[in-house]
Structure 1
Amino acid sequence: PELYDQFGSFRSNMLSIVGASGVLDFYDGRLRARDADGRMLADGVDVRNYAELISEEVKPWSYMKFPFLAAIGPQAGWYKVGPLARV
């Protein structure tokens, strides 16, 4: 049924590390950010310069910091990484 077509789908930005050929890399590479539609937001960012791409925000109800893509801002700039982003 149509109700289940999008079940479990959680649209979000995604952040990953990719190698020179543009494929997923777990250890080395450069940062790539895409929006929920797959459009490139940032590509080829050296991991040493991550602070140019990512900012953090503190919420009054948590000790945790909330990272977000700086160019988009804290409301729409949050993202998924790692295995969660690939689910």
Structure 2
Amino acid sequence: MNRVGRPLGVIASAVIEALSQQNMTAVELAERLQVSVQVMKSTCRRLVVRKQIRVVGKRQMRAAKPLFIYALIKPLQPNKMREIIWGTP
């Protein structure tokens, strides 16, 4: 996996670790990682663009916009976190 650009930050790395346990929405991730929903939505969008996570569904909340449910594209292997963060094997 040869990535161009800077390595993942702390929040993006934590999102990948959290999604390795279960699929979640940006709101659930924000609550779990104690960051704002707006920061989490932009982090998730960046990870989708980097093809590290994907949208696997939507959850409709009453009169609000639907929430995307995110999941890892590939299951996280125990020794792969360094490769994901730094883009090196």
Q: Is the shorter-chain TM-score for this pair beyond 0.5, marking a shared fold?
A: no
Query: Which TM-score tier does this pair reach, normalised by the shorter chain?
Result: under 0.3
Name whichever structure is richer in strand by fraction.
1
Larger Rg belongs to: 1
Which one scores higher on RCO, CA 8 angstroms, separation ≥ 6? 2
Name whichever structure is richer in helix by fraction.
2
Q: Give the TM-score normalised by structure 2.
A: 0.24
